[in-house]
Structure formats: C-alpha cells, structure tokens
C-alpha cells in the first residue's frame, strides 16, 4: 500500500481533499500532519475517522525531527502539501507565522523528502523512482490584473501581500528542488476556493454567517474586486490529476472561469437566502461597505487551459451551482 503524507489536512481544502482521496483511491494510506492552528478543525475530518487507512498526527511541518521520523516510519512515496497560513488579512497584521510555515515549513518538507528519496542530484533510491511532491499554491503569487488578461503559467510572479510573497517564496524553493536536485515536484496554482468547511474568517462564510445573524455584511472598498471562484471539489480533482498524471517540474494553474466581484457574491448569497429563509426585509439591506484592505489586489483570473488540455481537468460547478450547495452546508452549520 502506498503511503502518502498530506500536510494541513484539517484545514478547508485539505480536509475536503482527504475525503475525496480516500473515496477515490481506497488502496492509499494517508498520514495527515496538521498543527491544528486556529484554522485547523478536527471536526472537518469526522467522515474519515473510521477509515483504517487514515492516520492523524498533530504536529508542525517546521519540526524537522518529527518530519524525518514520519518519513522513516511510513516511507512515504508522496507528499501533498497544503499546510499554510492562508488568510491575507492576518498576513498584513502579523506576517511572522507566514514566513515560518509557508517558507521554512515548505523548505523543511522538500529537504526531508529529497534526502529520503534520493542519493544525489537526479539519483532516486530504487524504491522511490516514482515518489512525488505536490506543492499546493495560489494564483495570488502573480499579483493583480487590470480589466483584461488572465494568469498563465508564464505570468511573471509579482506577489503583493505578505501571504502571497510567502507562497511565492515556497513556489521558488519547490522549483529549485526540481531544477537543482531533480526532485519530482509538481506545483499547482489555484484561484479562490469556496465550499463546505472553509474557516469562518473567509469572505463567503462571513457573508452567510453575518446575513443569518442579522449583522452588517462587511464588504471591502466598493465591492468591485474580482476573484475567479472555484468550488473546492473541483480543486481536489485538479490536485489528484496533477499528483497522478502531471509532469515533474511543471506547474498547473487551476481556475473555473468564474470571475465574480465581491458585491455580486454578497448580492447572490442574499438573494438565495431571501428564497430559502425569507424574512421581512431582504438580506441585501445588511450589506455595508468598510475601509478597503491595504494593498488590495483588484482582479485575479486564471487561464486553466494547460491543465484542461494536458490532464483533462474541467470544473464541474459554476459559481451559481456551487454557491447553493455551500449555502446549504453553512445554514446547517450556523443554524443546525
Ligand atoms: P486553511 O487555513 O483552511 O488550512 C490550513 C491548515 O494548515 C490548517 O489546518 C492549519 O492548522 C494547518 N497548518 C498551519 N500551519 C501549520 C504548520 N506549521 N504545520 C502543520 N500544519 C499547519 O487553508 P486552505 O484554504 O485549506 O488552504 C490550503 C492550501 O491551499 C494553502 O497552501 C493555500 O495557500 C492554498 N490555496 C488556498 C486557496 C483558497 O482559496 N483557500 C486557493 C489557492 C490555494
């Protein structure tokens, strides 16, 4: 049985991914290491607790000895690396942890994997010829777009927040481990995800929670900032494809061609709530504009044609279908 190390699997995307992977590949043994920061939530993993081929380890990816011991114990042949500090607002207030986890933690994992799998540059140990490191990253590394254009894998990096700068640094370290040592690394850069199990602090859970509580729904600036929204399960499918069929050393952009601005998102969620949980006034009356985030990127949009044409990936959901499932899930969470 193949042993795979998943990092940060108690977070939003990681927990969705572990369930997806266990259902799709029953012969894989998953070890999930997560520090359980404020963003890690073991209840996200309730559905996988019963699987015999799943193990949880509470730990920090920056803890070199722990990572080395896990590699010795499980002889991993794959790493799927989600663990990160992921909230831009937090990175503006206190960037330290972003550098520690996103930069040093990623370096630590890459370096231990290299030493465990390889004898020297481009020489893999016999039983690790296929071993692969999948690094999960974001489209935010490319900086911001104007009204036109899309991020391709060739777009120069221009990160603008401490979060995106730390992710860009980790992408470069991953890249260097392929080019210098020949480590089998694949990187994915994905647009904004949404769906069940996302932390309360993020935009869509915040809109739904505040709407349901009757609070003001805070929208930065004029609400015109655009993101390319992807339903989390579509991201999981892209990660699985990139891990199994991607080319070593390549990067793949993942995005669902669902550009929507923040005000549209808030209005759409309010309209759906007006239908499913009507009250005397529309939820839209709660939308209120607040002071913009410093350095707020205007627009992100992904050209996903490489992963579509080379690996056969395609998003199943558009924003309007995915958001309904998401709202149902959060209504149960917040009112259930
Ligand atoms: P999240 O914040 O929900 O989860 C991160 C997880 O990592 C948490 O469970 C946390 O406890 C864990 N973690 C943090 N520091 C750790 C450490 N030092 N050691 C071990 N575990 C640690 O994040 P997410 O939204 O699920 O994002 C997962 C990955 O996907 C990140 O690398 C992020 O940059 C990337 N990404 C996210 C999005 C998005 O829209 N959410 C989009 C593109 C890429």
- Per residue in 186-240, pLDDT tens? 999 999 999 999 999 999 999 999 999 999 999 999 999 999 999 999 999 999 9
Alpha-carbon distance 65 to 71, whole Å?
10
Cα 153 to ligand 1 centroid, rounded to whole Å: 22
Tokens matching residue 29: 């043994």
Average of per-residue pLDDT values in the chain: 97
| Cα dihedral sign, 240-16-316-81 | negative
Cβ proximity of 284 and 270 under 8 Å: yes
Alpha-carbon distance 116 to 251, whole Å?
23
Enumerate residues 6+ apart whose C-beta is below 8 A from 336.
none
Closest CA to 249 of 303, 302, 312, 176: 176
Cβ proximity of 48 and 54 under 8 Å: yes
Tokens matching residue 196: 């069940």
Enumerate residues 6+ apart whose C-beta is below 8 A from 78.
2, 3, 4, 5, 131, 132, 133, 134, 243
Would you report the helix, strand and coil content of the chain in percent, each value rounded to 5?
45, 20, 35
Alpha-carbon distance 270 to 284, whole Å?
6
For ligand 1, say whether the CB of 138 is within 6 Å of any of its atoms. Answer: yes
Cα 158 to ligand 1 centroid, rounded to whole Å: 21
Pairing type for strands 251-254 and 185-190 reads parallel
For ligand 1, say whether the CB of 212 is within 6 Å of any of its atoms. Answer: no
Alpha-carbon distance 37 to 295, whole Å?
26
Alpha-carbon distance 76 to 96, whole Å?
30
Ligand 1, residue 40: give the atom nearest the CA.
Answer: 9
| Phi, psi (deg, nearest 5) at residue 54 | -135, 130
Q: Is 163 a catalytic residue?
A: yes
pLDDT band at 336 (very low <50, low <70, confident <90, very high): confident
Q: Which residue's CA is minimally distant from atom 12 of ligand 1?
A: 8
Q: Please report where in the chains the tokens 């089998």 appear, as a residue.
A: 184
Pocket test for ligand 1, best of 8, 200, 253, 302 (most atoms within 8 A of CB): 8
Q: Please report where in the chains the tokens 């991607």 appear, as a residue.
A: 246
Cα 137 to ligand 1 centroid, rounded to whole Å: 10
Alpha-carbon distance 79 to 72, whole Å?
14
Q: Which residue's CA is minimally distant from atom 27 of ligand 1?
A: 13
Average of per-residue pLDDT across 308-321: 97
Pocket test for ligand 1, best of 12, 106, 170 (most atoms within 8 A of CB): 12
- The region that residue 166 occupies, defined by phi over 0 for left and psi between -120 and 50 for alpha, beta otherwise, is alpha
Average of per-residue pLDDT across 250-271: 97
For ligand 1, say whether the CB of 12 is within 6 Å of any of its atoms. Answer: yes
Enumerate residues 6+ apart whose C-beta is below 8 A from 218.
206, 210, 288, 289, 290
**pLDDT tens digit sequence for 17-64:** 999 999 999 999 999 999 999 999 999 999 999 999 999 999 999 999
Tokens matching residue 7: 């990092």
**pLDDT tens digit sequence for 118-133:** 999 999 999 999 999 9
Average of per-residue pLDDT across 141-157: 96
Alpha-carbon distance 138 to 293, whole Å?
19
For ligand 1, say whether the CB of 230 is within 6 Å of any of its atoms. Answer: no
Average of per-residue pLDDT across 261-267: 97
pLDDT band at 285 (very low <50, low <70, confident <90, very high): very high
DSSP string, 243-288: HHHPPTT-EEEE--S-EEEHHHHHHHHHHHHHHHS--SS-GGGGEE
Q: Is 123 a catalytic residue?
A: no
For ligand 1, say whether the CB of 116 is within 6 Å of any of its atoms. Answer: no
Closest CA to 31 of 1, 64, 62, 9: 9
Domains by residue range for the chain, with CATH: 2-194+229-258 (3.40.50.720)
For ligand 1, say whether the CB of 105 is within 6 Å of any of its atoms. Answer: yes
Cβ proximity of 67 and 109 under 8 Å: yes
**N-terminal to C-terminal alpha carbon distance within the chain:** 39
Ligand 1, residue 100: give the atom nearest the CA.
Answer: 18
Residue 1 has pLDDT above 90, yes or no: no
For ligand 1, say whether the CB of 86 is within 6 Å of any of its atoms. Answer: yes
Average of per-residue pLDDT across 88-99: 95
């Amino acid at each position: 049985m193949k042993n795979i190390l998943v990092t940060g699997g108690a977070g939003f995307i990681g927990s969705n991914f572990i369930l997806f992977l266990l259902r799709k590949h029953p012969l894989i043994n998953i070890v999930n290491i997560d520090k359980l920061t404020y963003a890690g939530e073991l209840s996200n993993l309730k559905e996988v607790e019963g699987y015999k081929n799943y193990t949880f380890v509470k730990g920090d990816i920056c803890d070199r000895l722990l990572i080395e011991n896990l590699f010795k114990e499980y002889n991993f042949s794959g790493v799927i690396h989600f663990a990160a500090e992921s909230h831009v607002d937090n990175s503006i207030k206190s960037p330290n942890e972003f550098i520690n986890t996103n930069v040093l933690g990623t370096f630590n994992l890459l370096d231990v994997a290299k030493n465990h799998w390889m004898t020297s540059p481009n020489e893999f140990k016999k039983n690790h010829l296929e071993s692969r490191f999948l690094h999960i990253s974001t489209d935010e590394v490319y900086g911001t777009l104007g009204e036109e254009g899309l991020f391709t894998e060739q777009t120069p990096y221009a990160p603008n927040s401490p979060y995106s700068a730390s992710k860009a640094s980790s992408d470069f370290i991953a890249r260097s481990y392929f080019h210098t040592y020949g480590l089998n690394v694949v990187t994915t850069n994905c647009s904004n995800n949404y769906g069940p199990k996302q932390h309360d602090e993020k935009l869509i859970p915040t809109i739904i929670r505040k709407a349901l509580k009757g609070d003001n729904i805070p929208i930065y600036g004029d609400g015109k900032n655009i993101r390319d929204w992807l339903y989390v399960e579509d991201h999981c499918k892209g990660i699985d494809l990139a891990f199994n069929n991607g080319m070593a050393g390549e990067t793949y952009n993942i995005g669902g061609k669902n550009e929507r601005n923040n005000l549209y998102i808030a209005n759409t969620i309010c309209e759906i709530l007006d239908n499913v949980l009507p009250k005397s006034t529309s939820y839209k009356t709660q939308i209120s504009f607040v002071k913009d985030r410093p350095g707020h990127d205007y627009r992100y949009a992904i050209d996903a044609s490489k992963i579509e044409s080379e690996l056969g990936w395609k998003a199943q959901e558009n924003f309007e279908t995915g958001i309904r499932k998401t709202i149902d899930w959060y209504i149960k969470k917040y009112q259930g």
